[in-house]
Each structure stands twice: as structure tokens, then as C-alpha cells.
Amino acid sequence: MSMLSVRHLSKRFAGVAAVSDVSFDVHAGELLALIGPNGAGKSTCFNMLNGQLRPDSGEIVLDGVNVVGRSPRQIWAHGVGRTFQIAATFGSLTVLENVQLALHSHGSNVFDAWHPMSGTHADEALALLAQVRMREHASRPCSELSYGDVKRVELAMALSNRPKLLLMDEPTAGMGPTERNELIALTKSLVVEQKIGALFTEHSMDVVFGYADRMIVLARGKLIAAGDPQTVRADPQVQEVYFGTGNTFSADAIEEATA
Ligand code: ADP
Ligand code: MG
């Protein structure tokens, strides 16, 4: 069964059809890449899935439940974890405290999170840090970490509500090739182990072709191709959107086109 079924999802902004009649599925244990040129509607899609934007029409069925109309917090509570494009950790807190804070926010009142919490959820937080291979950095302030390490802490935080679905909009933005590959390889192994469905946008075609199980392509709000990376790469419409007819697919060109 699909972890996530998106059906006929549409959203307009004053005259712009940002997302038009988009349907796709994400299965448990699968890493699905969403690609498309700038302005294709990728972030609008993500923001409807996480509840920040209400779709004009369509269904978002998560683990059998249509979550359209629910708030971001309700959707999060229903099992959607997300990472943010901009670092979402508190630099003055330690790595461990950031993850404890994420665990603590599962309670009904987020502001309780400001109470002293040494000891609170410490074991669970350390276990999450071990999953993202950051346990040995637990007592360092986040402000001291490299960018790639901050992203791994964010991944631990996103996993803290044991999500069924993980949403990552440009998780590797601003990273070098090595860090990028490491983060997605780690994500992929966790997604498989924990049978999470994961949807991510990514500009690096090396990463997409290296790790995505399937990919979907948006152009001007419409879904123009879906399938395994090799099939999508050969799709005439994808080639045309990125390079004009007749050009062959090249990782550099697609990266340039989507940067
Ligand atoms: P992507 O993430 O693929 O670059 P977006 O989803 O951000 O694309 O944008 C899709 C289209 O919707 C673009 O034309 C963009 O200008 C427009 N758009 C996105 N958000 C808004 C908004 N809040 N208000 C008006 N137009 C928006
Ligand atoms: Mg975007």
C-alpha cells in the first residue's frame, strides 16, 4: 500500500497555476525525488503536503487518511517529519538539547520546551543521534558544527516523531558533493530500515541518479514524467523541458537548468 497518495492536487496563486492536477504515490521504504526547473511548483507541493498551504483541490491521503485541511501540527502529529532548507537548529544549544527539544515538542504545549530538560528524553535523543552517526558530538553546541553535521542533527529531529513520511525540500542546498552524497546515503539507509516513505527535491543529478528509487518531474506545475531514473532520463518531454529537443541528457546541464 502507498504511504502517501496524492491525487489531482492543484494550487493557484493570483493567475499562476503553481501546481496543476498532480498525482503521485510514495511507498514505505522508498526514496522519491521530485525534480523540475525553478518555479515548477516543487515547494508549493511540499507546502501543501506539510499543511502550510491549503490546496484548491485534490486529495492528500497519508496512510489511508485524507489530511487536506489539517494544520501543519496535526499533519506532523499524523506522522510527517520534515527538514528545512534553512538550518532549524538552535546554535547555542547542544546537539543533544536540540534533539531533546524536538522530542519534547511532542507534548501538547510546545512552550514547555523552554523548561530545563537535562535528562528529559536523553536516552531517546542519544539513540536518534546514533542513527545519524552524531552521538559522539552530543555535548557540542550546534554553532560549532560543520554544515553537513547540522543537517544530520536536523534529520535526527525530523525522525523524532517516528514519521511515516519524511519531506525534504532541497536538503543538500549549500553542500559540497561529498557532504551531499553522505547525507542522502544516510537518509536512504534510514528510510529503508524504518520503512519510511521519503520525498525530496534535489538539484544534483548525481544524487538523484545515485540514490532515488523513483523520480517525478514537474514543469510549470504539471507532472510531466514519473518512473525509475533511467526511464525518466530518456523521456522526450523531460529532455525538451530541460534542454530543448534533440539535446542529450547531461548532469551538468540539468544542474544548471535547475540551479
Ligand atoms: P519551485 O519550488 O519548483 O521552484 P514554487 O513552488 O516555489 O516552485 O513556485 C511555483 C510557482 O508559484 C512560481 O511561479 C512561483 O512564483 C509561484 N508562487 C509560489 N509561492 C507563491 C506565493 N506565496 N504567492 C504567489 N506566487 C507564488
Ligand atoms: Mg522550491
Whether 206 has a pLDDT exceeding 90, the answer reads: no
Which amino acid residue places its CA nearest to atom 13 of ligand 1? 39
Distance of alpha carbon 71 from alpha carbon 78, whole angstroms: 11
3-state secondary structure of 3: strand
Which amino acid residue places its CA nearest to atom 26 of ligand 1? 13
Summarize pLDDT for 172-197 with one digit per residue, the tens: 988 889 999 999 999 999 999 999 99
Residue 85 confidence (pLDDT): 58
Q: Report the amino acid identity of residue 108.
A: S
* Ligand 1 pocket, residues with Cβ under 6 angstroms: 13, 16, 18, 36, 38-44
Atom of ligand 1 at shortest range from CA of 45: 6
Distance of alpha carbon 3 from alpha carbon 190, whole angstroms: 16
Query: Which residues are paired to 6 by β-bridges?
Result: 24, 60
Of these ranges, 24-33, 84-93, 139-148, the one predicted with the greatest mean pLDDT is 24-33
Residue 241 confidence (pLDDT): 80
Residue 4 confidence (pLDDT): 97
Which amino acid residue places its CA nearest to atom 6 of ligand 1? 41
Of 10-24, 140-154, 230-244, the poorest mean pLDDT is in 230-244
Distance of alpha carbon 132 from alpha carbon 81, whole angstroms: 15
258 versus 203: which is more confidently predicted? 203
Closest ligand to Cα 37: 1
Closest ligand to Cα 41: 1
Residue 251 confidence (pLDDT): 47
Could you tell me which residues come within 8 angstroms of residue 133 by beta carbon, excluding any fewer than 6 positions away?
152, 186
Enter the pTM of the model. 0.88
Whether 110 has a pLDDT exceeding 60, the answer reads: no
Residue 217 confidence (pLDDT): 95
The mean pLDDT of the chain is 87
Q: Which fold has domain 2-258?
A: Rossmann fold (3.40.50)
Angle between the N-to-C axes of helices 95-104 and 122-131, in degrees from 0 to 180, rounded to the nearest 10: 110
DSSP 245: T
Whether 66 has a pLDDT exceeding 80, the answer reads: yes
Q: Separation of 140 CA from ligand 2 center, angstroms?
A: 31
Whether 225 has a pLDDT exceeding 70, the answer reads: yes
